[in-house]
A and B are shown apart, each in its own frame.
Chain A
Amino acid sequence: GESVGLHLPTLSVQEGDNSIINCAYSNSASDYFIWYKQESGKGPQFIIDIRSNMDKRQGQRVTVLLNKTVKHLSLQIAATQPGDSAVYFCAENGDSNYQLIWGAGTKLIIKP
Chain B
Amino acid sequence: AQSVTQLDSQVPVFEEAPVELRCNYSSSVSVYLFWYVQYPNQGLQLLLKYLSGSTLVKGINGFEAEFNKSQTSFHLRKPSVHISDTAEYFCAVSETGANNLFFGTGTRLTVIP
Query: Do A and B associate with each other?
Result: no
